[in-house]
Amino acid sequence: MSFTSCLSIPPALAEVAGKVGAGERITAEDALQLYNSNFLSLSGLLAVEVKKRLNGDYVYFNNNFHIEPTNVCINHCKFCSFRRNKGQKGSWECTIEEMVEIVRSYSGKSCSEVHIVGGVHPDRDVWFYADLLKAIREEAPLLQIKAFTAVEVDQMCKMAGMSVEEGLQVLKDAGLVAMPGGGAEIFDETLRAGICPDKTTSTEWLSIHETAHRMGIPTNATMLYGLKENYLHRVDHLSRLRDLQDKTGGFNAFIPLKFRKANNLYASRQETSVVEDLKNFAVSRIFLDNIPHLKAYWPMIGKQAAQLSLHFGVDDLDGTIDDSTRIYAMAGAEEQNPSASTAELTEMIRRAGYIPAERDTLYKILRTW
């Protein structure tokens, strides 16, 4: 098909469109062309072509809830609105019993996944979190557990005096099914040193995910955008993810995470526009041709923008969430009490012209509408 017949576009961009139409992989330079282009509609068409090639007309979501064990954290990321010191007003440290009680409260609600992410606690090692997973699995044996960013895994393994592979094996044996993709932020080392100086490095983040993939633990991947990076930084980030996916095939989904400025050290910065958000979704979908799913995290960008993103390559709207996460709400996200019913998500998807598909953590389709 021709994406350029009705548009007067530069030859270099027409060449990129031709590659996508022919099912060819685009280069980093091509991705930069798309980022610098003002032809948003063309990027959307190309992204939808890639999305349909990978997933047809399905748009996925799951019935899930979050547990955030603590917001006490050893790191000092300047963009974070979630972190607190131990004992500071507004901090929390859930016990295992309290977290199991959260799981118990969802009994009979048809949830397929619990998503567990929190601060990097100074006193909790891999054995604490293994005990948590075992307790959850005992309480709800059919509930799939997606838990712990690479940053959390890095620290909990160091505290236990074991390698990442040894620690992941402990967690897997305890019930870990998959890992989320947080903590990637932006891979450029200079930028990373400025915005999250004491965090797990980009090389370490990629290595931890590679180890998880090798062990049969699928993961997601993310990119923080809209802070200090430019398009070159974004393309570099996406390239590193694509290279690792070529090697392992272990990433399930990519989630661009929009910087939100409330209650952090970058409160004076202007946030990206919806147009920029949609462009970023589209370029990500086109470039990451080997990562099967592109997710719009609606609590971060809002439901209206998330629905629009379905026309720019997105095929996953995350889940119902049930007002169980505070991370982005504390940073001033669109959804301050993030909750969506199955009916609401399916209606959003249908109105965009796609087929709603409820999935589990591993993208097995549970039902369609």
Q: Which residues pair with 253 in a beta bridge?
A: 220, 293
pLDDT at 324 over 90: no
The predicted model gives 273-299 an average pLDDT of 97
DSSP state for residue 106 in the 8-state scheme: T
Q: What's residue 9's pLDDT? A: 87
Q: Poorest-confidence range of 83-87, 244-248, 251-255?
A: 83-87
Q: How does strand 251-258 pair with strand 219-225? A: parallel
String of DSSP letters for 71-91: -B-S---TT-SS-B-TT-TT-
pLDDT at 28 over 70: yes
The enclosing H or E element of 231 equals helix 231-248
pLDDT at 90 over 50: yes
pLDDT at 67 over 60: yes
pLDDT at 34 over 90: yes
The enclosing H or E element of 346 equals helix 342-351
The pTM is what?
0.94
Distances (CA, A) of 159 to 60, 123, 132, 141, 197: 37, 8, 17, 28, 20
Domains and CATH numbers, the chain: 11-368 (3.20.20.70)
pLDDT at 254 over 60: yes
The pLDDT tens digits for 160-219 are: 999 999 999 999 999 999 999 999 999 999 999 999 999 999 999 999 999 999 999 999
Q: Is 86 left (phi over 0), alpha (psi -120 to 50) or beta?
A: beta
Q: What's residue 264's pLDDT? A: 85
Q: Please enumerate in sequence order all residues whose Cβ is within 8 A of that of 302, keeping only pairs 6 or more positions apart, or say none.
A: 333, 334, 335
pLDDT at 6 over 60: no
